[in-house]
Amino acid sequence: MRLMQLIYGSTPFGFDQATLNRILVSARRHNRQDGITGALICRADLFLQMLEGPRDKVTAAFTRIAQDDRHLDVRLIWSGDAEERLFPDWDMLDDPARSWMWSQEQVDAGAIDNAAMEEARSIFTRLAQEVARNG
C-alpha cells in the first residue's frame, strides 16, 4: 500500500473555537479509523491541512472536506506519494496560527491560490520539525 500526502487550503466559514473543536473531534475519529495522520493549521482567515495515509482513504477524506460547508473555496495544493509520514503520531495535529506563515494581507491577495507545491510542503516540514523538537 502506497503512502499518499495531500495538502489543501480553504477559507473557514463561521470560524470560532467551538467550530474548530467539532472539526477536530470528527477528523480525529475518522482519521484514526482510516489510518490517516496529518496536521491542520487554522486561523480565522485560512485552513491549511496536510493529510497522509492510504491513497483511497486520503482521497475519501478530501472529498468529505470539499463538501463540508464549514470550508469555502477548497483548493488542492498538492498530492503525491511519500516515503514516510511527517506526522506519524498525530491523528490530526491542531496547530495554532503561524506567525512565520502568510500574513492576513497575503491570504487576502491569494496566497493559497499562488502557493507553490514546495512552499506548502515546506510549511508542514517546518511544523513537523518543531513538533519533534518540542516533544
Longest Cα–Cα distance of the chain, Å, equals 41
The string over 21-36, giving b where at least 16 C-beta atoms fall within 10 Å of a residue's C-beta and e elsewhere, is eebbeebbebbeebeb
Indicate the SS3 state at residue 3: strand
What's the start-to-end Cα distance of the chain, in Å? Answer: 29
Note whether 53 and 36 are within 8 A (CB). Answer: yes
Q: For residue 51, what pLDDT is reported? A: 96
Domains of the chain with CATH codes = 3-134 (3.30.70.100)
| Structure confidence by residue, pLDDT tens digits, 28-55 | 898 999 999 999 888 777 888 999 999 9
135 residues of the chain, pLDDT tens digit each: 689 999 998 888 777 778 778 888 888 898 999 999 999 888 777 888 999 999 999 999 999 999 988 788 899 999 999 999 999 988 887 766 565 577 778 777 777 777 767 778 888 888 888 888 876
